[in-house]
Amino acid sequence: WPSFAQPLTWIDVPRPVWADAALLWPTVRAHGRPHDYADLLIAAYARWLQATVVTNNVRDFAALDVTCVTWAD
């Protein structure tokens, strides 16, 4: 574990990302599908960075207005 974590850089989550994640919560609840809080934060960060989420479960991100690709295909 230490050899894996050593090259990683810790960065704080910016306030706009927290705010976007908080706004995503009622949006997905309105569609009747609760999401894991971590997924909301990941989606908000990806939206802020205009990045693509690479996941094995694109369905979890479908209603979160974020570009996803699956590594499983």
Rg (CA), the chain: 14
Query: How do residues 55-69 score in pLDDT, each as one tens digit?
Result: 998 888 888 889 999
Q: Which amino acid is at 15?
A: R
CB neighbour class for 2 (10 Å; exposed up to 12, middle 13-18, buried from 19): exposed
Residue with tokens 């590594």: 71
pTM comes to 0.77
Q: What contacts 28, CB < 8 A, 6 or more positions away?
A: 34, 35, 40, 63, 64
24-64 pLDDT, tens digit per residue, is: 988 888 877 777 888 999 999 999 999 999 999 888 888 88
